[in-house]
Amino acid sequence: MSCGDEVRRMIMKRSFTAGEKPTVPPNEDHRSGLWSPTDVYIGEQFFNVVDGALYTRSNDGIEVVETSENSSKTLYKEVEISSAEILDSYDNPILLLNSEENKYIKIKNLTLETTAGTTPYTFNGTSAEFWSFYFMDGVNNFNYENITRTALFSNTNSTPRAFNLNGGGVTVNGTNVETKGITPGTALYTGMWEANPTLGNGTMLVKIWYSIETFGSNL
């Protein structure tokens, strides 16, 4: 429930710690005693002085605001993936981002963090299954980036890991499609590509910096 005077309270928060970002509070009352110093209301701004980055909070969460006239607004989203979702991710890929008609998603940076579990992920087959990020328009899959099964799951039960993915060559059946663009309305998914894991309980956190672009000239 709102505290009723959040608009009067709104301030420009500042941080002098590199990499520090605003956070979504556990409730909508800054006087509750549960807020951290980085929590912000919807519409409130947060400026990291060291990084030169300006953030705000919308209904969709924390967003990065770019001031360059030549750049689309950078948005930020986090998606937590449970062990149950990982175990079922080949049959039911996880939706990360949706687009709109005549628009497409431009990924600026994507990070995958894994959290250690008590049981490593295992597979029945010996084929080269991999964890995949891909765009899908309902008919075609456009590969964005893959992590091999060995790299991602060999140490899941002991050490957390982070993978920074910048999206190498996007190919479909061996043909580069970056110059062809992506079908309007294409959504970004993630999951195992060839088979579900058979066992395991580590979790994942996907962090995405992106923009929504409109087909056609920006002039």
Model confidence pLDDT, tens digit, residues 136-164: 776 666 666 777 777 777 655 556 777 77
- Per residue in 17-76, pLDDT (tens digit) is 877 889 999 998 888 889 999 999 998 999 888 777 888 998 888 887 754 333 467 788
Q: How far apart are CA 188 and CA 135, in angstroms?
A: 4
pLDDT in tens, 109-120: 888 888 877 887
71/81 Cα distance (integer angstroms): 30
The predicted structure's pLDDT at residue 11: 82
Question: How large is the average pLDDT for residues 165-182?
Answer: 44
In this prediction, residue 102 has a pLDDT band, given cuts at 50, 70 and 90, of: confident
* Alpha helices (H) in 129-184, listed in sequence order: 149-153
Question: Among 23-32, 128-137, 193-202, which stretch is predicted with the lowest mean pLDDT?
Answer: 128-137
- The answer to whether the pTM exceeds 0.75 is no
Tell me which H or E stretch contains 8.
helix 6-9
The reported pLDDT for the residue numbered 5 is 58
